Amino acid sequence: MSKRAGWALTIAALAIFLLLNRAAYKGFFQDDDLDTLGWARGVSASEFLEYLATPRLSPANFRPVGAFYYHALENAFGLDFPKYVAVLHALHFLNIWLVWLLIRKLGIGPLGAAAGAFFFGYHAALIDAWWKPMYVFDILCATFSLLAVLLYACDRWILSLISFWLAYKSKELAVMLPAMLACYELWLGQRRWKRLIPFFAVSLLFGVQAAVLPVHRGTRYEMQLGLGAQAGTIRFYSSQLFLLPYAGLLLLALPLFIRDRRLWFGLAAMCLLLIPLLLLPGRLYAVYWYVPLAGAALMLASLADGHYRWATLLLLVLWIPWDFVYFRELRRINLQRELRNRAYVGAIENFARLNPSPRLFVYDALPEEFHDWGVVGALRTVYRNTTITAQHIDYPGSVELIQKGDAAWLHWNRRDGRLDIVQHAPGPALPYLRMDITTPAGQLIDGWYALEDDFRWMKPDARAVVLRPASARNFEVVACVLPEQIGRGHAISLRVLLNAQPLRQHDFTVPGCQSVEWPAPPGPAGNVKVEFHIAPPYIPPQPDSRILGITMKSFGFTS
């Protein structure tokens, strides 16, 4: 292959990659990203250097190389997400090139190297690595792992050792690199075993600490040994390699028929780098193939360079369309999810521009796959203040904080994909309450569940306070019942009392939402205590353990 053809092939491959992934620049941060952004900006350079140099295992799972990516980019670009993706893509292109160089270093021709690099660079299972900054740890681990092997193969073992250290400080998966280098010496090197001693010493140092210290016990990061645990992890990862159940296990049989030491080395690299992942049944993600897939790419390249090149070509012809279909579906899911995250954080940014002082927030529902640590991280990143706190609305005292105006309320409207934020100020009661975030929670005394979109579930008995204006003529209730409620009780009765004086009863006999209005009984202007009583109560299916009345959309006095 001429240099001109090589450059043309490279430019075309990168252009196709960017075209396929252009939507990544329209995405947004995940909750893990926001959590890291919330604290990484404030970490000093000396702390990064300390964690980078220390031989001690971090009890907080601090990975300084990847965390520095967040530190540098947040200080430079804030929450400008496309900049983060551009760096991810640049690192991924670098890794594709390193895979190419390593394959060529093993004596494989350019066509085999192109096949292996393509398989690594375009594998749909890895899409999250170049869409989501939270996986920069895997990308950087691959970068320094590939550099370590390349430098070792070029007799630059001291530089290789430094790269190995950086790979481990990117992600702990690199602990298996010394075993990979031993396989290289055995099959492709000159069997100079002494130079491997410092590599194994480093690996042993961190491996013993991980096994002895209770750093991750009781969490999803805890290593587990057992037939059931490993059966599940092997089933998952072997099914992700070719996107077919257990298909990856077929590679284990190739050394029995193909006597190519380069293929053996690729298989060993893949399996060794998978071992830590197989011990983590609580963390199953296809993108974790990112580092081990370099070994699979070496295997594919060695097959394409020998007598099996036509079989390899056929495999790629069959795999590429299937990979693209899978990639397109993952791209759609990612974009939908990240647009919701953007809406959530964007609303916080808009609120912060007008309200720069709040330090306490209460949140209720969250976007899909978005967790509480993402809320705290987003607030601390937007406000650039690590002292900001947030708590769930079910936490004791949260509703009182909203009522008093001490906390801003973050309410996620699932139906509309919108975050509403309000901070109540003390004031007189309202005569009419609509179930939305603007309703003063202090007027809902008891018997009310959390706000859901534009309604609240009541308990069978609930109380509230509204202001009766002098011009009040009617009292209105807008409420809804489910088909399951009508089917069970045939009718749902609603009794309303104003200051213990009953209004006429209303029976819901058909499902759906209804507006009911009664003449307001005589009385002076002022606050009125409202009581709602529902019969029979509704017990929803499990796992919902609540006892419900009806859903209330609004109620109060009308003129």
pTM (two decimals): 0.86
- What pLDDT was estimated at residue 230? 92
pLDDT confidence band for 423 (50 / 70 / 90):
confident
pLDDT confidence band for 486 (50 / 70 / 90):
confident
Rounded to whole angstroms, the Cα distance separating 21 from 443 reads 50
Q: How many CB atoms lie within 10 A of CB 278?
A: 18
pLDDT tens, residue by residue, 121-169: 999 999 999 999 999 999 999 999 999 999 999 999 999 999 999 999 9
Rounded to whole angstroms, the Cα distance separating 21 from 48 reads 32
**Average pLDDT taken over every residue of the chain:** 92
Q: Does 210 score more than 80 pLDDT?
A: no
Residue 378 contacts by C-beta under 8 Å, 6 or more apart in sequence?
A: 34, 38, 344, 345, 348
Alpha carbon of residue 112 to chain centroid: 35
- What pLDDT was estimated at residue 488? 60
Alpha carbon of residue 181 to chain centroid: 33
Per-residue burial over 386-408, b = 16 or more CB atoms within 10 Å of its CB, e = otherwise: eebebbebeeeebbebbbebebb
Domains of the chain: 3-193+211-336 (no CATH), 428-559 (2.60.120.260)
Q: Which of 5-9, 394-398, 510-514 has the lowest mean pLDDT?
A: 5-9
